[in-house]
Amino acid sequence: MHFELTEEQRLIQDTARRFAAEEIAPTLEQEEARHEFRPDRVARMGALGFFSCALPEELGGSGMGYMESVLMAEQIARISASWRLPFNMQNLGPALTVTKFGTAAQKKKYVPGWVAGTQLGFFAMTESNTGSDVASMKTHAIDKGDHWEVHGSKMWISQAHVGDAGLLYAYTDRSRGNKGMTAFIIEPKNWKGCTARAIETKLGLKCAPTGEFAFDGMKVPKENVLGEPGDGFRICMWQLNQTRIGCAAGALGVAGGALDIAVKYANERTQFGKPISQHQMIQAQIAEMAVEHQAAQMLVYRAAWLKDNGKPNQYETSVAKYAASEAAVHAANECMKIYGSFGFSTEYPAERFYRDAKSLQVVEGTSNIQKIIISGMATGATPNRE
């Protein structure tokens, strides 16, 4: 076993760390207060190669893999969980999925823009009554001969109302169950019959835009079907196993960031004549945070390594996502307690870490869904897949 990062990986990690410190942190609090999303920052991240991982060079890939994506996303999330989201919206979601299942024309048209960060991506699965049970979705598309006509709605879609091109999952033949679901590449800003609006009533992730789609007869060209009609559920499940590692990396970042500021504050804050870091109760809290963070880090890195080596990893990815998400929530909670009253104040970052951490127990499969996946594979009921 080799636990050391390569020199190149350390340089990539440092690039992301410096980007977060120099280009996100200085204005983050003001942007959080305004719920501000900056497309120019996404393009800047793209220019630095943040969205180029696990992709072929002819589509903008850099030769880097999942491990490098995890390392970069982790460093960004140590400063801002909101700004970890573009890794999924650009690279691990749309770009990787179209690269695997798309035609040559689809890849050429869409993937380079997602990689460059100049074309904002998204993937639309969730509906008002469809979350963990993806197969229960109501959105459907009707075959009109030379195009598909989409009706229905999606909600809680990251980058929905700012997105240029992304993935849509809808039924094309409900009689076939989940084998009647189809994946489409859509351009909501360019096509009639699609309305998008922002959702701003969120607990956290204030700088990560979230919205909903309403489809009223949106026409999708036949050439924008991803894979074949009926492949949608299979594609969706494959995609979730890729975006899940991005969430796990984000959780690592949140847990690590909460630990960082908790340690700093504990060393600075004095009570009963000494820094609170010298009191056993505080030491116990910090020890728990540190152990859970390191354990989750090993699990996430292992899942990324399996992906990069083409080995079955669905089990390990779910283990990593579950462990890291729970570690992030616990770390953020302990951080707030260490800060005391200041942890409850919006003037300090502890409360932001707490709010942002909660999303990680929900997105890309809730913690309960991860338990179902993990237990199914642990008991041999379902196989481990790539």
Catalytic residues: 364
In three-state secondary structure terms, 385 is: coil
Q: Are 106 and 98 in contact (CB under 8 A)?
A: yes
Give the whole-angstrom CA distance, residue 305 versus residue 321.
14
The alpha carbon of residue 279 and the mean position of all alpha carbons in its chain are separated, in whole angstroms, by: 37
In three-state secondary structure terms, 38 is: coil
In three-state secondary structure terms, 100 is: helix
Q: Which residues pair with 167 in a beta bridge?
A: 123, 185
Crossing angle of helices 367-378 and 314-339, rounded to 10°: 140
Give the whole-angstrom CA distance, residue 47 versus residue 21.
17
| Residue 173: C-alpha distances to residues 9, 74, 139, 176, 325 (Å) | 46, 40, 11, 6, 36
Of the candidates 314, 315, 317, which has an alpha carbon nearest to the alpha carbon of residue 300? 317
Q: Which residue has the tokens 């909903």?
A: 212
Q: Which residues contact 223 (CB under 8 A, 6 or more apart)?
A: 103, 105, 106
